[in-house]
Each structure stands twice: as structure tokens, then as C-alpha cells.
């Protein structure tokens, strides 16, 4: 996220040749606010709010039609984003953008949240007798009917299956970072698809930054960055991002101002932000939330990450795989139960015990039948990662362990494979198959006794840039999601139950490092385990 392009809040920078943006601004200024100390007063557009309107409604085609069809406004909490978005919805319902039979849709993660924007719009109408006379409200259904145009404004939530048949003209997607993954994407697509019959439809996404990789919000965030940086040319898309620089000092108040235009406007309290920042000294787990909700910095994984990802990303360059041939390696295998991510991580140590580096070659496995659902649930871009050769997708609705075994065997043929470490749980058949291939196998526990030393060594290597991961995005996701737990002696181990998403690659790496630290391959499990009976001859 280096170099997040922050939106410039100067209205003069955004031309309005058709006067359309000016008409929107004049309409919004006619509305009255309904809450707080300014209740009953006219809506005073601050410069950053006018700049947003001009950026969306100013660009026009040669025949005067609005050019922008999708706008993403990324702005932290406390900057009156819902108030502005609700006013824009009214502009399309009963203002200068209204059309006969128009459908203005306000959507959020659930019906309660969808009602927040609706309430803002409804209460603004109630402040003006003339506007109220033009509307037939059904507040119990979160619905407004315009008496003259027969247009509607309604709030909906993410049950997309019930939204077919609509014909939206304006679509407000509020706090999209909180939308449920699969149903949220369905809703977004259903409403957007319904707009094709309109001449000039407009979708406005307004949200704070989210967390994790994958999902609708992450896709829109990435596209917003790409267009804002000039990497993608799309004049119909307006990326409006207020954010601090992820690489800057989060305590630098200049970054707070860059991310929060309401500070300069005077309706966001600098004192409150300072109080929250000071509390982080005592509650460090709150730092990720502060960065996300008040600095608009996208968070990669766990709210209290096990390791700083900026340090993780500064790893030394990885040795090319071809140059690893002939080097000793250990492999960690973390098997999934049925349909989750399976990780096979080959680790190549180099150097002395005190300054050892590790080159890492991971491969991941998922079943094809559930790939799309898993991508949404895990907020992970599995489809692209498969295309890039980083993920093996097997047929059916469960991971094919035969493909996992074949991959490990292939590693053994190419590299100097010393040993395969595998989680004891649900591994009997795979362990037996690997043993039949004459590979050394060690069952590896997940408790403190087994995990404390490799977890400590992994952290040392990562902090020193000596965990050479080659930028593999799936492995990075796994490390981003880690939540570690500690025992009374301050030993750490990874916790799948407390982690925010898949951590299988990190677990596989830890198991491999654990066997490296053991200093010897050790006996095969079948030389000491009662399950050898019937598998090997005595």
C-alpha cells in the first residue's frame, strides 16, 4: 500500500463544464441537518465535500452526459460520509438528478445498517415542509415514494436473492468493507446489473478501509488505487481516497489531517484522536483499528498481527528455485479437513545456527468446487493465484490428497529432501503414502512443546529479513492472519482458533523449521508408532 494517493480537497481543481455539479451543490445546501448542534441548520458544504461532488458530477461527455458511473469514496470515520451520501441519494430521488420512475437504492451490510443512511435522508426531508409534501413515506419498510415522478428511495440489505427485478438509477453502497462476502458481492452485482436500462446510472461506494485480501471491498480498493495512481485508465470511475501514508509514522498528526478532511472543516475533534492514540500505548491491540478506522489504512490480517508485515516484506531476495537444487530441504505439510486450504512448504536452510537464512518454496491446494466460495469467505484472491501458478486446484469438493502426495514426491526428486513434517491430525493415510515413497516422515504436534522453538526462530528470521519468501502472496496472507498465544513462560504458538483467516502456510513453515532445529531427521513414525502394524514388515 506504499504511496496511497490522497484526494486533493480543493474544489477549484475539478472542472464542471456542464454546471451539473453546481446544481447538485445548490440542492444539497438547501437541505437541513437533523442531528447534533447544527440540527435545523442548512447543510453547509465544506470544501472537501464540494470537491467530492465536483469530481463525480463534473466530468462530462461531449453531449453533456455525466461521465462517471462508479465512484468509490474511501474516508475514515467521523468525516460525515453518511450525511453526504444520504444527501446525494436525495439529489437523485427528488433533486436535480431525479428521473421519472427512478429507483434510488441505499444498501448496507444488514437491514439495520441500511436503515442508517435511510434515516438520514428521511430526517432531512422532515426538516423541510415542501419536500415532505412531495413524499409518501413508508418508514416501517424503509421506503419513500415520490408523488410526482413515481420514483422510489429504499433501503435494502444483502439478501441478494430477493432483489431481482429492480431497475436502479442510483445505488449507494454504504460501508462496503463490512458486507458479508458472498451475499455482499451478489447484492452488488444484482443492483449494478439492474442499471443497464438507465441512461446515466450512478453507483457510489462509501466506506472506510477494510482488512484481509480478497472479497468485493478489497477488489474495489485495489482498483481505486490503480486508477488513482494512473496505472489503469478508466474515466468512468472516480477513486476518492482520503488516507494516511501506510509507511509514515501513524502518530504524525500531519498524516491525521491528510486522512481526515473534517479536521480542517472543524467537525472532527483532534482532541478525541489524540486521546485514542494515547490509549494505544496501554492497549496496543487497538493500533490496527486506529489505522483502519481513523487513518484509512487497509489492514492485511489480524487486528494484533504476530509480526509487522512491513518487516516481513523487507526480506532478502530469494534464491532462484533452480539454484536450490542439491540443497538440503525440509517440508512442512498442513493438511485441511475437507475443503480448506492445504499447505506444503519446502524450507531450505543456509548458514550457521546463529545467523541462518531460509529460502521458502510453498504450494497450496484447494478443491475446485468450492473455490469461489472459499475466496469470498477467506477474503483471498484464489482465482488469480491459481492463474499465477501459486495454487493447485483439484477436482471435486475436497482437496485431493493424491495431488498433495505427488507434489511432495516431486520435491523429493528435485531437491535434497531430508524429511517431511506433518501435523498428527488427520494425516494417517498421507503419512503412510509418503512412507511408501521412501520419504522420511515425522509427525509434528501443534502444542507449545513442539511449536515454541520454531515460532521463535521464524520471528528471528523474519525480523532480520532472513526468511526469503519471494513475495508469495498466499504465504503472506497466512502470516498476516496469525494470532499467537503464549504460555506462562512466554512461549508462543500459532492459534488457528483465534486467527482471522487461513494460516496454514505459516504452520507448514513452522513445522519444517522445527525439524531443521531438531538437528537430525529422527526416526520415522513407523519405527515407533503402533500404526506400523500391517503397513511395514517387521
What are the angstrom distances between the C-alpha of 77 and each of 84, 108, 129?
A: 13, 16, 31
| Count of H-run helices and E-run strands, the chain | 19, 17
User: So what's the pLDDT on residue 235?
Assistant: 96
- How much is the pLDDT for 1? 41
With residue 156 as reference, give the H or E element that holds it.
strand 152-156
The whole-angstrom separation of Cα 190 and Cα 199 is 18
Which pLDDT belongs to residue 163? Answer: 62
Question: Which pLDDT score, from 0 to 100, does residue 489 have?
Answer: 78
Grid cell in block for residue 499: 486467527
What is the reported pLDDT for 533?
Answer: 42
Which CATH number applies to 311-532: 3.90.1530.30, 3.30.420.240, 1.10.274.10, 3.40.50.300? 3.30.420.240
Question: How far apart are the C-alpha atoms of 476 and 479, rounded to whole Å?
Answer: 5
Say how many C-beta atoms besides its own lie within 10 A of residue 85's C-beta.
Answer: 21
In whole angstroms, how large is the CA radius of gyration of the chain?
27
- pLDDT confidence of residue 398: 85
**In this structure, are residues 298 and 395 in contact, taking their beta carbons and an 8 Å threshold?**
no
Tell me the backbone φ, ψ of residue 498, rounded to 5 degrees.
Answer: -95, -10
257, 259, 260, 261: CA torsion to nearest 10: 80
At residue 337, φ and ψ (nearest 5 deg) are -75, -60
Assess contact for 524 and 443: CB atoms under 8 A.
no
Comma-separated ranges of CATH 3.30.420.240 domains in the chain: 311-532
- Homologous superfamily of 66-241 in CATH? P-loop containing nucleotide triphosphate hydrolases (3.40.50.300)
User: According to the model, what pLDDT value does residue 8 have?
Assistant: 94
Degrees, nearest 5: CA angle 289-290-292 = 60
pLDDT of amino acid 161 = 52
pLDDT (tens place) for every residue of the chain, 538 residues total: 446 889 999 999 999 999 999 999 999 999 998 887 778 889 999 999 999 999 999 999 988 899 999 999 999 999 999 999 999 999 999 999 999 999 999 998 887 787 888 999 999 999 999 999 999 999 888 999 999 999 999 999 866 556 667 899 999 999 998 887 777 888 999 999 999 989 999 999 999 998 876 678 988 999 999 999 999 999 999 999 999 998 889 999 999 999 999 999 888 999 999 999 998 877 766 888 899 999 999 987 655 568 878 889 999 999 999 999 989 999 999 998 777 899 999 999 998 777 899 999 999 999 998 888 888 778 788 888 999 999 999 998 888 899 999 999 999 999 999 999 998 777 889 999 999 999 999 999 988 999 999 999 999 999 999 999 999 999 999 998 888 888 877 789 998 877 667 899 999 999 999 999 987 444 444 334 443 344 333 3
201: Cβ–Cβ under 8 A, 6 or more apart, which residues? 69, 168, 169, 170, 171, 195
Contacts of 157 (CB under 8 A, 6+ apart): 107, 108, 109, 110, 111, 113, 114, 187
Distance (Å, rounded) from C-alpha 444 to C-alpha 330? 13
pLDDT of amino acid 212: 72
Query: Which residues are CB-neighbours of 102 under 8 A, at least 6 positions away?
Result: 92, 93, 146, 149, 151, 152, 169, 170
Distance CA 452, CA 442 (A): 17
Residue 17 contacts residue 58 (beta carbons within 8 Å): yes
Alpha helix segments (H runs only) across 137-281:
181-193, 216-228, 253-259, 261-265, 270-279
499 within 8 A of 300, measured Cβ to Cβ: no
Helices (H), 127-202: 129-133, 181-193
For the chain, residues classed under CATH 3.40.50.300 are 66-241
- Per-residue buried b or exposed e for 193-210, using 16+ beta carbons within 10 Å of the residue's own CB: ebbeebebbbbbbbbbbb
Amino acid at each position: 500500500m506504499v504511496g496511497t494517493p490522497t484526494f486533493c480537497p480543493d474544489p477549484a481543481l475539478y472542472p464542471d463544464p456542464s454546471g451539473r455539479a453546481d446544481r447538485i451543490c445548490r440542492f444539497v445546501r438547501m437541505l437541513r441537518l437533523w442531528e447534533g448542534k447544527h440540527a435545523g441548520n442548512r447543510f453547509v458544504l465544506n470544501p472537501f465535500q464540494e470537491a467530492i461532488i465536483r469530481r463525480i458530477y463534473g466530468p462530462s461527455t461531449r453531449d453533456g452526459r455525466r461521465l462517471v458511473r462508479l465512484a468509490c469514496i474511501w474516508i475514515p470515520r467521523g468525516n460525515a460520509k453518511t450525511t453526504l451520501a444520504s444527501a446525494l441519494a436525495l439529489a437523485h430521488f427528488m433533486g436535480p438528478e431525479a428521473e421519472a420512475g427512478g429507483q434510488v437504492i441505499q444498501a448496507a451490510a444488514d437491514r439495520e445498517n441500511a436503515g442508517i443512511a435511510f434515516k438520514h435522508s428521511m430526517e432531512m426531508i422532515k426538516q423541510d415542509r415542501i419536500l415532505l409534501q412531495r413524499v409518501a413515506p413508508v418508514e416501517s419498510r424503509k421506503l419513500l415514494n415520490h408523488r410526482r415522478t413515481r420514483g422510489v428511495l429504499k433501503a435494502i440489505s444483502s439478501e441478494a436473492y430477493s432483489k431481482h427485478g429492480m431497475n436502479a438509477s442510483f445505488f449507494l453502497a454504504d460501508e462496503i468493507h463490512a458486507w458479508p462476502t458472498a451475499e455482499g458481492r451478489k447484492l452488488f452485482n444484482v443492483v449494478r446489473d439492474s442499471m443497464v436500462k438507465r441512461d446515466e446510472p450512478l453507483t457510489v461506494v462509501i466506506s472506510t478501509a477494510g482488512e484481509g485480501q480478497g472479497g468485493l471491498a478489497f477488489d474495489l480498493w485495489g482498483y481505486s488505487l490503480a486508477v488513482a495512481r494512473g496505472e489503469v485508465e478508466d474515466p468512468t470511475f472516480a477513486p476518492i481516497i482520503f488516507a494516511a501514508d501506510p509507511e509514515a509514522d501513524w502518530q504524525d498528526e500531519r498524516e491525521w489531517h491528510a486522512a481526515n478532511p473534517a479536521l480542517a472543516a472543524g467537525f472532527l475533534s483532534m482532541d478525541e484522536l489524540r486521546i485514542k492514540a494515547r490509549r494505544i500505548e496501554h492497549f496496543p491491540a487497538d493500533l490496527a483499528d486506529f489505522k483502519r478506522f481513523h487513518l484509512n489504512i487497509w489492514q492485511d490480517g489480524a487486528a494484533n498481527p504476530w509480526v509487522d508485515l512491513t518487516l516481513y516484506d523487507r526480506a532478502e531476495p530469494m534464491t532462484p528455485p533452480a539454484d536450490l537444487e542439491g540443497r538440503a530441504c525440509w517440508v512442512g505439510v498442513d493438511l485441511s479437513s475437507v475443503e480448506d486450504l492445504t499447505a506444503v512448504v519446502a524450507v531450505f536452510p543456509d548458514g550457521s545456527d546463529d545467523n541462518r537464512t531460509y529460502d521458502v518454496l510453498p504450494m497450496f491446494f484447494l478443491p475446485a468446487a468450492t473455490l469461489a466460495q472459499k475466496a469470498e469467505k477467506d477474503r483471498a484472491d484464489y482465482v488469480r493465484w491459481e492463474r499465477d501458478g501459486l495454487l493447485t486446484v483439484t477436482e471435486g469438493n475436497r482437496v485431493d490428497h493424491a495431488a498433495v502426495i505427488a507434489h511432495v514426491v516431486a520435491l523429493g526428486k528435485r531437491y535434497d529432501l531430508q524429511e517431511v513434517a506433518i501435523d498428527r491430525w488427520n494425516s494417517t493415510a498421507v503419512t503412510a503414502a509418503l512412507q511408501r515413497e521412501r520419504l522420511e516422515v515425522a509427525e509434528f504436534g501443534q502444542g507449545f512443546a513442539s511449536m515454541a522453538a520454531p515460532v521463535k526462530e521464524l520471528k528471528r528470521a523474519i525480523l532480520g529479513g532472513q526468511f526469503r519468501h519471494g513475495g508469495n502472496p498466499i504465504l503472506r496472507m497466512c502470516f498476516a492472519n496469525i494470532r499467537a498465544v503464549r504460555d506462562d513462560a512466554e512461549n508462543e504458538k500459532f492459534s488457528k482458533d483465534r486467527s482471522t483467516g487461513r494460516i496454514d502456510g505459516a504452520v507448514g513453515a513452522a513445522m519444517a523449521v522445527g525439524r531443521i532445529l531438531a538437528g537430525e531427521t529422527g526416526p520415522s513414525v513407523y519405527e515407533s508408532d503402533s500404526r506400523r502394524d500391517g503397513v511395514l514388515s517387521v
